[in-house]
Amino acid sequence: MSSSAPPASAGPADTPAQPEQQRLLGPDPDVAPPAGVRSLWRLRGYLYPYRWQLLFMLVAALGGVGLALAIPLVTAAIIDGPVAEGDVSLLVPLAGLALALGVLEAVLIFARRWVQNKAVLGLETTLRHDLYARLQQLPMSFHTRWQSGQLLSRATTDLSLIRRFSGFGLLFLLTNIVQLVVTTVILLFMYWPLGLVVAAVSVPIIWLSMRFEKSYVVVSRQVQDEQGDLATRAEEAAVAIRVIKSFGRSEHVSSQYEGAAQQLRATSMRKVRMPATFWTFLEGIPNVAVVIVLALGAWGVGTDRLTPGQLVAFITLMLSLVWPVSSLGVILAMAQESMTASARILEIFDTEPAIVGGTRTIPAPRGHLRFEGVRFAFPDNPSDDVLKGVDLELEPGETVALVGATGSGKTLLTALVPRLWDVTGGRVTLDGEDVRDLDLTHLRTLVATAFEDPTLFSMSARENLTLGRADATEAEIEEALEVAQAQFVHELPWGLDTRIGEQGMSLSGGQRQRLALARAVLARPSVIVLDDTLSALDVHTETLVEAALRRVLADTTGLIVAHRASTVLLADKVALLQDGVITHVGDHRQLLADVPQYRELLAAEDERAEEMSA
């Protein structure tokens, strides 16, 4: 089975057709999906590669049950034969048979667990791979609505719950039911009045199990959701620790975390109390049955309706049902948690990627970029266009500065080039090809983006740099570092191999921007998009970076979101974005002289920059 996508049994084909808006947005993270046996059944494809191991586990488990049932019957034969008749000649063979059955049972248990580990861990690994792959495929509309902690909870806790039930709970649910049925039949055959007592015990157990199942699934889902919320708070506090400390809000954030933790504790206590009550009844009912069996059994032996050996075997078999009955609560709880976990994971699998790549490629890319009547509205507000018909052309090797007021849609427009979002009207073309027709991986090798708020990963500086181009040589890395004025990496404790920490928190804002810029330059794209990438640099460093960028942009098509005149001067021409459309395109000096809105925007930004540097 391929692990690049969820199996057919877990895919969207099993779900009803969704409205277009719901398909783009994905499920509502605040609405719990229905959890039931069907949720687990849809993931059955992940068990298929391990079908022979699972079959062996089932046969071994059932064989162990059969051996466990045979040993009391051999014991009855020993008591009613050699012991009762004083014939020791049969004692050794029968005792040897009982010992052999016990050893064989132990061997089957060992073999089952040996095979079980490989199967269930393989299942979890494949499922985790596909879940992560699907998260990478899902659009920005999905990730902007879902808390990272909720996704983290699904990729860790929920997968572990499914693994535990698939490898332990499901197997013992089947074998325990078989053991209960077979043992009851044997007991009825041995002495039907006592067998009826055992059969009658199953009625309250089934009734209690059904009540437990309905209520436990609700609280189980609530606990899992609250675990995700708590994980989100913990992650946000770790990532934003500098902001929290600088504002002296540690106590405030801690109180929020503590409140969420206390809520999780209260819900978890409800969850614990429910099975505790259930298990108390499950263990109490068999004990009552044992007392009744002892009384009726003693009467049966006294009236010669039952032999002493049969009574011992009967009580032994009766006691052998204590584990299947008492474990029923654990297994049912595990099943409910697993069904809930499956439903939560299927929420992700059922979200169709709204951005799907085409099949075309550009053999010899030139970097000719065009925006043709581009319109865009966010999926949750499709009637309100942010971009209202943008027309803009960038010739190969040309650099265009995109200028506009805050919130005018500049960053959104640049995000349409690598298809982080898709247009809702018009089209974006690269060398004449609609970007929606291009293979997605190919497109994103042709376009490199450096964002204003750069994202760095908890890995070495070298790994962060080569993220977009793993085959870069040392000379190319050094050239990119020079362009971005990011040679500071050589001063780190282990140079380029220094682990810079999550989100690059060990670096300053300017250092993070320069490292992200070097990463974009190193990718050698046909189109480079710079989303106000120099905003955190000091004037001296900005001058050096701009001088080096001119060399890079001479051979690359560049789209630069600019707020300052110094950045605008990097461009061959300037496009002014107002009210969702490009209103003016021209030379910087021309726009400065002829367009008051453009002059006011740059003047306001320069004044703000002077105030910040004062």
Q: List Cβ neighbours of 371 (8 Å cut-off, separation of 6 or more).
A: 390, 391, 392, 393, 413, 416, 426, 428, 582
Please name the amino acid found at residue 147: Q
Burial class of residue 13 (count of CB atoms within 10 Å of its CB; 0-12, 13-18, 19+): exposed
Phi, psi values for residue 533, rounded to 5°: -70, -15
Per-residue pLDDT at 454 exceeds 70: yes
- Residue 370's pLDDT is 95
CATH architecture, domain 369-453+526-613: 3-Layer(aba) Sandwich (3.40)
φ, ψ (nearest 5 deg) of residue 560: -120, 120
- For 414-439, how does the pLDDT look when each residue is reduced to its tens digit (9 = 90+)? 999 999 889 999 999 999 999 999 99
Domains of the chain, residue spans? 8-231+278-349, 369-453+526-613
Q: Which fold has domain 8-231+278-349?
A: ABC transporter transmembrane region fold (1.20.1560)
pLDDT score of 589 more than 80 = yes
Q: Is 4's pLDDT higher than 60?
A: no
User: How confident is the model at residue 606, as a pLDDT?
Assistant: 54
Residue 559 pLDDT: 92
Q: What is the pLDDT of residue 527?
A: 92
Reply yes or no on whether the pLDDT at 597 is more than 60.
yes
Mean model confidence pLDDT for the chain: 80
β-bridge pairing 399-404 and 573-578: parallel
Predicted TM-score (pTM) of the model is: 0.68
Has residue 375 got a pLDDT over 90?
yes
User: Long-range contacts: 244-253, Cβ < 8 Å, 24+?
Assistant: none
> Per 3-state DSSP, what percentage of the chain is helix, strand, and coil (rounded to 5)?
65, 10, 25
Residue identified by tokens 């792959």 is: 133
**Rounded percentage of the chain residues whose pLDDT exceeds 70:** 85
pLDDT at 295 over 50: yes
Decide whether 8-231+278-349 matches 369-453+526-613 in CATH topology: no
Residue 102, classed as helix, strand or coil, is: helix
Higher pLDDT, residue 362 or 245: 362
Task: Summarize pLDDT for 479-516 with one digit per residue, the tens.
Answer: 888 888 888 888 888 889 988 866 666 787 788 888 88
What average pLDDT does this structure show over 104-129?
A: 84
For a pLDDT cut of 90, what percent of the chain falls above it?
13
- What does the pLDDT look like over 192-225, one tens digit per residue? 787 777 777 777 776 776 666 667 767 776 787 7
